[in-house]
Chain A
């Protein structure tokens, strides 16, 4: 049994670091999304093996941080998601590469419309045994 997992070493701590933002934070994709919400979603490629050697499990992990707000009026929703993006980016801890933020899109989740923007982040993980 390894001493660390991706959940315990990366996803969990990242979700904890984001806990200070004014939104519901999930280290996984929840069945329903209570907005405003910040959700860690695996990106593609999810794991990249870019260091030499194979004796230890080491990889670069790519995530998408999906920021979700209620979509009601366009100006207010855009302002809300911009403020959420700013607070999320400021809360991302050291050791994470932040690539870019995709343009907000309206996404229907269940019966409600959400305005969603994705932030690309990456970090490196080494399994400790």
Chain B
């Protein structure tokens, strides 16, 4: 079997219908299982209780870009400020044919940076539930 390689160039991400590809330098969807461990007389038993998902994003800051509706940072700030409990839908393509969908709660982006480099923004968005993976 040939080795399969997919890279960050295979990723695509939209949140609340905004395409993050122009600004995003790194994106990771992390899904974890919370497990309880029980010590029985026969040994350890594991039981899955819950699933948690987070979307970790690092992107080039775009504060002030064009109109407010065009700035991802400003859109995310507005969502976190005015409707923090309203989830935003996302579509995260890992590679062609493997698409994760779900919803995340908005978070406040950072602001600032060093004099030498482009300003970058990092934020972690809490998922509402386990992402849905669609394989085609």
Chain A residues at the B interface, C-beta cutoff of 8 Å: 49-56, 58, 97-99, 122, 124, 126
Is B107 an interface position by the 8 A CB rule? no
Does A52 contact B11, Cβ atoms closer than 8 Å?
yes
Nearest CB in chain A: distance from B76 CB, A:
17
On chain B, the residues within 8 Å of A122 by CB distance are 118
Nearest CB in chain A: distance from B82 CB, A:
28
Nearest CB in chain B: distance from A94 CB, A:
10
CA distance A124 to B24 in the complex (A): 12
Does A124 contact B118, Cβ atoms closer than 8 Å?
yes
Query: SS class of chain B's interface: helix, strand, loop or mixed?
Result: mixed
Does B27 contact A52, Cβ atoms closer than 8 Å?
yes
Is B22 an interface position by the 8 A CB rule? yes
CA distance A49 to B9 in the complex (A): 8
On chain B, the residues within 8 Å of A124 by CB distance are 60, 118
CA distance A124 to B117 in the complex (A): 12
Q: List 23 A-B contacts (CB under 8 A).
A: A49-B9, A50-B25, A51-B21, A51-B22, A51-B23, A51-B24, A51-B25, A51-B60, A52-B9, A52-B11, A52-B24, A52-B27, A53-B9, A53-B12, A53-B24, A55-B12, A56-B22, A58-B21, A58-B22, A97-B117, A99-B116, A124-B60, A126-B22
CA distance A98 to B117 in the complex (A): 8
Is B42 an interface position by the 8 A CB rule? no
Give residues 12-66 of B contacting A (CB, 8 Å): 12-13, 20-27, 60
Does B118 contact A97, Cβ atoms closer than 8 Å?
yes
CA distance A55 to B14 in the complex (A): 13
On chain B, the residues within 8 Å of A99 by CB distance are 116
Nearest A residue to B9, CB-CB: A54
Nearest B residue to A97, CB-CB: B118
Most chain B beta carbons < 10 A, residue from A54, A99, A124, A126: A54
Nearest A residue to B114, CB-CB: A97
